[in-house]
Amino acid sequence: MSSLESQGSRQRDSDRKTRVHLSLYDRIKFILLFVIVYLILVWASLADNPLLSVGDAFNEVTRTRTWLLLLVVIEILRQMHFLVSEVLAPYHGIWQKYFQAVDSALHRFSDWTRYRLSRVIKAIIFIALLAVVLGAIYKETPIRALFLAPSALWRALPMLGQLLFGVFFVIIQFAAMFWFLSRGGVDTYFPDDIRTRFTDVWGQDHVLNRIRENLLFLEKPHEIEKHGGYVPGGILLWGPPGTGKTLMAESMAGETGKPFVFVDPGAFTNMFFGVGVLKVKSLFRKLRKLALRYGGVVVFFDEADSLGNRGMTSTGGQQRADRHSVPAIFGTSCHGGSYLSPSTASMLVRESFVVGGAAGGGMGGGGMGTLQALLTELSGLKKPRGFFNRILRRTLGMRPKNPPKYRILVVMATNMPEALDEALLRPGRIDRMYRVGYPSKAGRVRTYEGYLAKVSHSLTAEEIDKLATITPYATGATIKDTINEALITAIRNGRTSITWPDVVKAKQLKELGPPEDVEYIERERHAVAVHEACHAVMAHRVRQHMAIDLATIEKGSDYLGMVASIPPDDQFTRWRTEYESDILVSLASLAGERMFFGGDNSSGVSGDLESATTIASLMEGHWGMGSTISSHASNRQFEVGAPGGGKNDSTKELKRALGDRIEDNLSTLLIKAEKVLKENRSQVLALAHALETYKTLSGEDVAAVIEGVQGSIIDGRPYRNRTFLAKIEKYHKAALVAHREHRTPDIALPPLSGSAQGQ
């Protein structure tokens, strides 16, 4: 340590009294050069006379090239001078004074001029030595030999040409292969090629207005540039699938007076390393050319998430993780997720994505430098344009012209914005990000009207409005599909005009999938009906922010039955009471099954319990709807742990572990659910009977059965009849016995007779 500390800083060159020591190479490099020239000359002599001995060759060269010897001697003297200067300070001092004057004279020239002069001198020395060597080879005077060299080169050109052809042949093969591989995936549309206009995009007016604004700036850049601003260069359209992002881009292509370049999502997926980079470069070369020629260009990257993300390493991981990490509530026999409002359901999916996706990681996309190349092209250095501009002007000592302003509007669309690289989204690359969400009700009405106008139908304005209400998360694509399905249903029934039942059936078909036409055994049919009836009655009684859309016990591809609900209004905030009612609806199946089946319950409640637990966890840990205040998300992020968990401390006891609190909350709500169902026992059995009878009920009919009133299709009034209710209770008891003994119930499902309806 002390020896290290005792070492001072390296002495500055200006403080030295002696010359800086030369490295060995610097000391011998010129002598080495002269020796090489000497040896070449000896070799030339030996090659010239086959009888010449090596000694005589040295002898001859030494005698005939005394100047070379002189140079060697001068160089040796110079090196001796340096050596003495390195050792003797006074000697060095004398020369310093002399060279100071020379230096100051030389420094009258600029650094650049001195650099150029030194290069000229070096070139002259090189040519002189070359002349000597060539003279020795050609047996001519050095000057003459120098002039003979080009003719020798000319004679050698055919051979050089052959060699170069060989080299270029290999290079051309590679270049051609990569050129062909880097083609494709990019389509260019010119104005009037596409007929889609902004008027063809319905229900997304707020986004369209913004896009229109961007196009306006592209068409008239001076409007913003004269005020010191700049034309926004990038737009990201993100949102759920089918909300019209690509259609918007298509309408942009139709509206703009500039060329529109469509980049295929698979354009940057390639087999060989570097092809993606070539594609990006070739794309942007094309864009720059179009931008200069037409004054601007729009480029659209569809499914931009295919470009990948540098933060994730393995390929396709996120998509796979997403696919495989769907919560059990969406894949169980009870289809537990369907009892939740769509926003809650999407939140649960997102939660599982965050947990599962982060662990899974990985997203490939283009990869292999493609994204980096794209980032650089989007906002990298803009080099001067053109070979002559860059090379010729610079060779002639002229400054290349400044690169022109390329007006390129980059539009990207994705339904996975979280998969995009952060650097891609920074201002300067993507300046504006617009969410293309689900259309508003007015937008949905406009969209339904638009698609219905293309077919024959008998729907009234009220029915269209109602249709828009009961399809809150319908997108342009789903609306188009539903209307088409309704038309198919009508044609199958021998009609060409769509009616209201056709639309309702099409909607059910699209949302639930086709029924599997599976006949339950009686006791299981009754169990499923009671299960769904519990959900429906609970939803009807406690959940005000959602309306039942339909209830069914027809088995689908991944459910035995379901109760689907829809939000009657476009609501953007959610409240504790609403989440509690969601949990109550989920827990209703467990409470109901235990109540109606003597404490027994099926595995069909697993999905319901998972969704209830997830919501309860989020309420307790995230949304400030529990007994603690801190956010579990932040606690997890900072690894500080959840509050509570102590056993003995009375203060901590209040703040028990998160899991305990969630369990307590769920238990409380389960008791409440049992109470509600107990109070509505006859309504549950009535609705179960209706489901067993009709299999599928609309939301209105569900309400009619529970309230005992006339519904849109089903008359619920018979279910107010006490005698009929007693029959239903009796049937239930028989089904319960059959359930316990695993056999067919003793009595059949009581029919809805005219007498029952009359009483």
User: Which stretches of the chain bind another protein, using CB under 8 A?
Assistant: 24, 28, 31-32, 35, 38, 48-53, 55-56, 58-60, 62-63, 66, 69, 72, 76, 139
Tokens, residue 292: 């200069």
> Hey, what amino acid is at 708?
G
Cβ pair 38, 68 in contact under 8 A: yes
In terms of CB distance, is 56 or 660 closer to another protein? 56
Could you tell me the smallest distance in angstroms from the CB atom of residue 87 to another protein?
Answer: 16
Closest alpha carbon to 310 in 260, 252, 369? 369
- CA 148, 150, 152, 155 dihedral sign is negative
In terms of CB distance, is 64 or 402 closer to another protein? 64
Could you tell me the smallest distance in angstroms from the CB atom of residue 50 to another protein?
Answer: 6
Closest alpha carbon to 562 in 373, 655, 691? 691
In terms of CB distance, is 66 or 209 closer to another protein? 66
Could you tell me the smallest distance in angstroms from the CB atom of residue 72 to another protein?
Answer: 6
In terms of CB distance, is 37 or 409 closer to another protein? 37
- Judged by DSSP in three states, 65 sits in coil
Closest alpha carbon to 348 in 329, 320, 321, 361? 329
In terms of CB distance, is 51 or 518 closer to another protein? 51
Compute the distance between CA of residue 161 and CA of residue 322 in angstroms, rounded to an integer: 58
- Judged by DSSP in three states, 549 sits in strand
In terms of CB distance, is 49 or 496 closer to another protein? 49
Could you tell me the smallest distance in angstroms from the CB atom of residue 65 to another protein?
Answer: 9
- CA 422, 428, 429, 432 dihedral sign is positive
* Alpha carbon 394 to its chain's center: 42
What phi and psi values does residue 186 have, to the nearest 5 degrees?
A: -130, 120
Residues 6+ apart with CB under 8 A from 338: 559, 562, 563, 564
In terms of CB distance, is 64 or 557 closer to another protein? 64
Could you tell me the smallest distance in angstroms from the CB atom of residue 283 to another protein?
Answer: 55
Could you tell me the smallest distance in angstroms from the CB atom of residue 38 to another protein?
Answer: 7
Could you tell me the smallest distance in angstroms from the CB atom of residue 63 to another protein?
Answer: 6
Cβ neighbour number for residue 7 with a 10 Å cutoff? 7
Could you tell me the smallest distance in angstroms from the CB atom of residue 57 to another protein?
Answer: 9
Strand partners, 715: 710
Could you tell me the smallest distance in angstroms from the CB atom of residue 56 to another protein?
Answer: 5
Could you tell me the smallest distance in angstroms from the CB atom of residue 42 to another protein?
Answer: 10
Tokens, residue 322: 């997403």
Compute the distance between CA of residue 97 and CA of residue 578 in angstroms, rounded to an integer: 93
- E-assigned strands of 557-659? 562-566
How does strand 547-552 pair with strand 696-698?
antiparallel
Compute the distance between CA of residue 239 and CA of residue 434 in angstroms, rounded to an integer: 8
Distances (CA, A) of 134 to 31, 36, 57, 707: 20, 14, 17, 113
- Judged by DSSP in three states, 562 sits in strand
In terms of CB distance, is 28 or 425 closer to another protein? 28
Q: At what angle do helices 66-87 and 89-106 cross, to 10 degrees?
A: 110
- Judged by DSSP in three states, 611 sits in helix
In terms of CB distance, is 30 or 95 closer to another protein? 30
In the sheet that holds 547-552, the strands lie side by side as 562-566, 547-552, 696-698
In terms of CB distance, is 53 or 141 closer to another protein? 53
Could you tell me the smallest distance in angstroms from the CB atom of residue 114 to another protein?
Answer: 30
In terms of CB distance, is 73 or 89 closer to another protein? 73
Could you tell me the smallest distance in angstroms from the CB atom of residue 365 to another protein?
Answer: 56
Could you tell me the smallest distance in angstroms from the CB atom of residue 32 to another protein?
Answer: 8
DSSP designation for 185: S
Cβ pair 372, 310 in contact under 8 A: yes
In the sheet that holds 234-238, the strands lie side by side as 186-189, 260-263, 297-301, 408-414, 234-238, 432-435
**Alpha-helical regions (H) of 325-369:** 342-352, 358-360
* Alpha carbon 738 to its chain's center: 55
Could you tell me the smallest distance in angstroms from the CB atom of residue 68 to another protein?
Answer: 9
Could you tell me the smallest distance in angstroms from the CB atom of residue 394 to another protein?
Answer: 41
In terms of CB distance, is 32 or 726 closer to another protein? 32
In terms of CB distance, is 25 or 174 closer to another protein? 25
In terms of CB distance, is 62 or 693 closer to another protein? 62
- Judged by DSSP in three states, 123 sits in helix
Could you tell me the smallest distance in angstroms from the CB atom of residue 145 to another protein?
Answer: 14
**Secondary structure (DSSP) of 667-734:** HHHHHHHHHHHHHTHHHHHHHHHHHHHHSEEEHHHHHHHHHTSB-SSSB-GGGG-HHHHHHHHHHHHH
In terms of CB distance, is 152 or 172 closer to another protein? 152
Place of tokens 């986004």: 207
In terms of CB distance, is 55 or 599 closer to another protein? 55
- CA 444, 448, 453, 459 dihedral sign is negative
